[in-house]
Amino acid sequence: MSRGDSFSPRTMTTGRNTLKSGIVDNSFYTSDYQYSQKRNNKDMQDMAYKFMKGMPEFVKIVEVGPRDGLQNEKNIVPTDVKIELIHRLASTGLSVIEATSFVSPKWVPQLADAKDVMQAVHNLRGIRLPVLTPNLKGFEAAVAAGAREVAVFASASESFSKSNINCSIEESLSRYRAVTRAAKELSIPVRGYVSCVVGCPVEGPVPPSKVAYVAKALYDMGCFEISLGDTIGVGTPGTVVPMLLAVMAIVPTEKLAVHFHDTYGQSLPNILVSLQMGISAVDSSVAGLGGCPYAKGASGNVATEDVVYMLNGLGIKTNVDIGKLMSAGDFIGKQLGRPSGSKTAIALNRVTADASKI
């Protein structure tokens, strides 16, 4: 209800000093929510309590920007830029950063430098750096380059599996059994991704039972975590909840992660409802790197900064420093010559700019 020009903000100066060392501290918007015993309306108390009580105290963020994010870029990003991005992300408190993918450069030219990237970063301390490995050959190349954690990716949709990785779901699962067997020998953890968990660009809506089937197959073959991906971003809480219920019926909740795309702007509500159901691992991409390959020009990954902002507000720990995260996002944004895909980063950057006028 503003009147535009008449108001010049002097933000964040009085009383609560939220500007610390040039980094805006948004923790004053976190929740110190107490479930008050004294309530007029008991139904309301129970309801609100129900919304919050199932949520985890800590959420692990799996940062996929350097792989899922960059692999969609048309222009080849120089190897040293990729390495620098990973280093910056590593300084934010993120504990898992997907570094690259050992797929054929014929399919993903952007990640042809997988070996070089991996060799440069694999010794980063305290950080897990999973890499994608579509088959045994990729797995062996990854291990040779120093990888200590890998990931495989099956689809809940048969059509998408065929068009995206050139084989049926069953064939892909066989390939991955070979990978998990080899990985087990070397005590290398394997993460399993399931794509198209809500909708498929070819088939349309995907039945929850199919998602559960593929998730269980990956879990049974030894994947330590299953990341459920809404590849085309069509999910809403209305479709996400039944899908999660079907999967959670046969795969333990603590083994699950969610990977929502923000193509229709729905990823944060989808993440929220997943948290309410007890999910405690969320995939996201710094600055929202990574477009949607099926609706050109539309966005893809959800921005890590926006996710961390919400989690901070919910009082959920992540160990991620949002200021340092924004700095990593700024870095890659400058390299790519594009503004951030994170609304939080844009807003906090502007607010900081105002504060600097003091």
Partner 1 sequence: MPQLRKNIPDFVKIVEVGARDGLQNEKAIVPTDVKIELIKLLVSSGLSVVEATSFVSPKWVPQLADAKDVLAAVRDVEGASFPVLTPNLKGFEAAVAAGAKEVAVFPAASESFSKANLNCGIEDNLARCRDIASASRSLTIPVRGYISCVVGCPLEGRIAPVKVAYVAKSLYEMGISEISLGDTIGVGTPGTVIPMLEAVLDVVPIDKLAVHFHDTYGQALSNILISLQMGISTVDSSVSGLGGCPYAKGATGNVATEDVVYMLNGLGVKTNVDLGKLMHAGDFICKHLGRPTGSKAATALNKVTTCNASKL
* Cα separation, 269 vs 325, whole angstroms: 22
Q: For residue 292, indicate whether it is catalytic.
A: yes
Q: Which of 81, 141, 295, 336 binds partner 1 (CB under 8 A)?
A: 295
One-letter amino acid at 31 equals: S
In the bound state with partner 1, the residue whose beta carbon lies nearer, of 168 and 276, is 276
Considering only residues 79-138, where is the footprint of partner 1 by CB under 8 A?
none
Place of tokens 């959670």: 248
Please report whether residue 11 would count as binding partner 1 according to CB under 8 A: yes
Please report whether residue 354 would count as binding partner 1 according to CB under 8 A: yes
Coil, strand or helix: which one is 32?
Answer: coil
One-letter amino acid at 255 equals: K
Please report whether residue 284 would count as binding partner 1 according to CB under 8 A: no
Please report whether residue 313 would count as binding partner 1 according to CB under 8 A: yes
Tell me the site size for partner 1, rule CB under 8 A.
Answer: 75
Q: Which of 104, 116, 182, 264 binds partner 1 (CB under 8 A)?
A: 264
Coil, strand or helix: which one is 283?
Answer: strand
Q: Which of 265, 225, 228, 260 minimizes the C-alpha distance to 244? A: 228
In the bound state with partner 1, the residue whose beta carbon lies nearer, of 105 and 265, is 265
- DSSP count for the chain of H helices, then E strands: 12, 13
Please report whether residue 14 would count as binding partner 1 according to CB under 8 A: yes
Shortest distance (Å) from residue 354 CB to partner 1: 8
Angle between helices 322-336 and 79-90 (to 10 degrees): 170
Q: Which stretch binds partner 1 (CB under 8 A): 21-29, 103-111, 158-166, 330-338?
A: 21-29
Please report whether residue 16 would count as binding partner 1 according to CB under 8 A: yes
Is residue 132 a contact partner of residue 179, using CB atoms and an 8 Å limit?
A: no
* Cα separation, 82 vs 64, whole angstroms: 12
Please report whether residue 245 would count as binding partner 1 according to CB under 8 A: yes
In the bound state with partner 1, the residue whose beta carbon lies nearer, of 49 and 224, is 49
One-letter amino acid at 249 equals: A
* Cα separation, 277 vs 69, whole angstroms: 27
Please report whether residue 299 would count as binding partner 1 according to CB under 8 A: yes
Query: Taking phi first (over 0 means left), then psi (-120 to 50 degrees means alpha), and beta for anything else, what does residue 320 get?
Result: beta
In the bound state with partner 1, the residue whose beta carbon lies nearer, of 144 and 353, is 353
Please report whether residue 250 would count as binding partner 1 according to CB under 8 A: no
In the bound state with partner 1, the residue whose beta carbon lies nearer, of 10 and 184, is 10
Q: Residues with catalytic annotation?
A: 292
